[in-house]
Structure 1
């Protein structure tokens, strides 16, 4: 082990390659054909299905499950992709336990829903692994649209625009397209480089040019884009990360959870990725859980999530909380960071207990920590000229911003929950609205 790989308690190689491969294996292994048929047979194929209402992309869930049950997984995939072109990723990362599966009639009656997410993956994987792309472009409209941000919202928007016959130039600040799917989701949820495989498959529609390393404010201006394109869609996500505001936050060991997750997702060799011996994650969303669980999978001895409110108000679902607990992550509630202790390197984190109103109780606790991850929410990197609402881009209708000819969707826009599936719906709907506004619907 070289000195560069050791930063006090933060070091690489805590586990060997075999352990890491096993730890980061597929969280939900795919269903085989027989398993899919058995799972599909549990569906009542409800006429007025509550699962469809609960799906942000309005997939006809009973129809695609019936198609699986009758031996037509490719037809099921087409039903899914008609509404959600990123149905493969959403099958892996959607919090189905709080969406479609939570309202499943089987869940309500028996406490065990139809496995909608895994069935969706079975269908979409069947088509994607066959290399098929079920859509062709309409005749060229002669219109050119800029899509800034190649995450879920931008990809969904670009694909629908291309399918309608428009030319699309997609810009992204990162070296690879994919956005959150590529850089921000736990490795064990999307192994085998699925995010990039899905992007490559999506781009088979044609008509989409991708330019990476290009961002608003860094080589691109909204004014120039409006001048050069017939319409602009912004799916730029939330690039800024909130700080704790504590002295010593610049010490070695204090990092953003999103940066850690991105580094892990891009690491060619996980044995070379450093992790602390004692890790504390501040926050309560899925990013916090992903950072905490993956720290444990890399070999951290103790990992603690400290969240300021009680368990029921934690943004991560109860399923995600239980996932963390089963991996040995300690969840602590009603705590806020009060002080960071150490010299140039983090040694301890002092946490203060708070009541339901966030008022300090006077009790504190100090935990050893050589690595702390901030997962306390991200914020919009402001775009000049756009009205904001609650710190995000203000939109009306299907993503129309305060500037004529500019739409926005996904995490950067004010609207629904910050979920991949919601971003896909917003990108898709914005594309349809752009098409209509261009007078081509």
Structure 2
């Protein structure tokens, strides 16, 4: 739902323009040349590279860090882009603290890993700022591939296919390309319209046409794509938002956290974005943290995250939880929403029930707590909307509510591959995992098309 301006608490313009600028500045400022050399020198260049094994795209991390250390940032960027063409964004938004940096030997020995993410950003920023393209498009194969969705999976697939000389048409439902990189990431993690700069960098290889405002099921059918193209890659992500399953959740003031983040990302003036004085966020993942922290940065006085399980069960990393706490967000565990309290149709509070684990099963205790709130955000996960397949559900097998694929990203429908958040493939729902899925599916498509 669109966020409304209320007289009773929900309003914009709580802070000065200078405060907004400071609050939404870069979370991790880029390393300068000297800082990058000093940090790169901390790497042990391990022969078995546990950091590389922890990277979903298997970037050769010791190699790219050594190239930085020897004064070759462009060579470092190529090493990164060989495996992850969206390495610039991943350097900004990846939970490196639970991936490569957690596996770093220095983390084990000293509790202070090499700052792999910031080094990756340093190298990729140099290449992108210089407009350095490392790949030329192969001679045209005459094959045409349709990619549904211009998010991380779709862009990674499109770039790899274009490198092989295939003609790629990307169909994106939204006005801008980038998917979650453009619409779903906290504004302080990706500043200065970087998502669009990366889209331009990826498509500069040539052979990729992006058509925005084209939604599957509304503007075209999957069956049409299968007939018109030699292959189809589905990378449209998740379109649904899970319900609270609480009474009164349709009250004015209850909104989806992903919509709030999207609106904030696209806002030209943060002062015009309404936020409550007392905000409650339901959920325990990265989206919940992003919504809560940004509510605080917009001027909310009290922000509380409520999660139905314990701290150790939260999908948000310890770093993200600490970030929320550092910004004045209260995180409460072992409570689930029971009833949204409304006055005059507008949220005035939320009733929550305490929970406990009974073996493997979570259950309510019957004891409740009421928190005052004028705004409630739902951040309890997204779901795939199979209706987008336009009646093709019978032909494309689903599993766990998402598209079922094999080890190469092939669906049960001939000529159709899928990857990213819309599939069940054992990967985590992360930008870097979506990039890996798109890249790997593109390799499979190429092998099939070229026999």
- Regarding TM over 0.5, the answer is yes
Aligned residues: 437
Matching residue of 1:380: 384
RMSD: 0.9
Conserved 8 A contact 2:147-2:234: yes
Cα deviations across residues 304-355 of structure 1 (Å, max 9, x unaligned)? 0000010001000111011000000000000100111113100010111000
CA separation in 2, counterparts of 1:118 and 1:90?
10
Cα deviations across residues 253-307 of structure 1 (Å, max 9, x unaligned)? 0000000000000000001000000000000110000000000000000000000
Moved more, 357-366 or 135-144: 357-366
Gaps of 5+ in 2: none
Matching residue of 2:123: 123
Matching residue of 1:409: 419
Moved more, 380-389 or 249-258: 380-389
Deviation at 1:247, TM superposition (A): 2.6
Deviation at 1:7, TM superposition (A): 4.5
Matching residue of 1:349: 350
- What is the DSSP-based 3-state SS (H/G/I as helix, E as strand, rest coil) of the residue aligned with 2:103? coil
CA separation in 1, counterparts of 2:86 and 2:208?
16
Conserved 8 A contact 1:350-1:364: yes
CA separation in 1, counterparts of 2:421 and 2:41?
36
Conserved 8 A contact 1:5-1:272: no
Matching residue of 2:399: 389
Conserved 8 A contact 1:351-1:366: yes
Matched, 1:337 2:337: yes
CA separation in 1, counterparts of 2:120 and 2:208?
26
CA separation in 2, counterparts of 1:302 and 1:397?
46
Conserved 8 A contact 1:6-1:12: no
1:184-333 superposed matches below 5 A: 184-333=184-333
CA separation in 1, counterparts of 2:280 and 2:373?
6
Q: 1:430 aligns with which of 427, 432, 441?
A: 441
Conserved 8 A contact 1:351-1:364: yes
CA separation in 2, counterparts of 1:14 and 1:365?
29
Conserved 8 A contact 1:393-1:414: yes
Moved more, 92-101 or 240-249: 240-249
Cα deviations across residues 98-138 of structure 1 (Å, max 9, x unaligned)? 00000100001111100000000000001001111211100
Matching residue of 2:152: 152
Conserved 8 A contact 1:68-1:123: yes
Conserved 8 A contact 1:341-1:349: yes
- What TM-score, normalized by structure 2, do the two folds share? 0.96
Conserved 8 A contact 2:170-2:208: yes
CA separation in 2, counterparts of 1:26 and 1:399?
35
Q: 1:363 aligns with which of 364, 367, 370?
A: 367
Moved more, 149-158 or 384-393: 384-393
- What TM-score, normalized by structure 1, do the two folds share? 0.98
CA separation in 1, counterparts of 2:337 and 2:264?
25
CA separation in 1, counterparts of 2:15 and 2:164?
50
1:11-90 superposed matches below 5 A: 11-90=11-90
Conserved 8 A contact 1:159-1:202: yes
CA separation in 1, counterparts of 2:370 and 2:133?
55
CA separation in 1, counterparts of 2:250 and 2:311?
30
4+ residue segments displaced more than 4 Å: none
Deviation at 1:5, TM superposition (A): 4.0
Matching residue of 2:136: 136
Deviation at 1:202, TM superposition (A): 0.8
- What is the DSSP-based 3-state SS (H/G/I as helix, E as strand, rest coil) of the residue aligned with 1:356? strand
With over 3 angstroms needed to count, the CA separation of the structure-2 counterparts of 1:421 and 1:51, relative to structure 1, is same
CA separation in 2, counterparts of 1:439 and 1:211?
26
Conserved 8 A contact 2:247-2:338: no
Moved more, 84-93 or 335-344: 335-344
Conserved 8 A contact 2:148-2:234: yes
With over 3 angstroms needed to count, the CA separation of the structure-2 counterparts of 1:156 and 1:7, relative to structure 1, is farther
Cα deviations across residues 11-63 of structure 1 (Å, max 9, x unaligned)? 11111211000000000000000000000000000111100100000100000
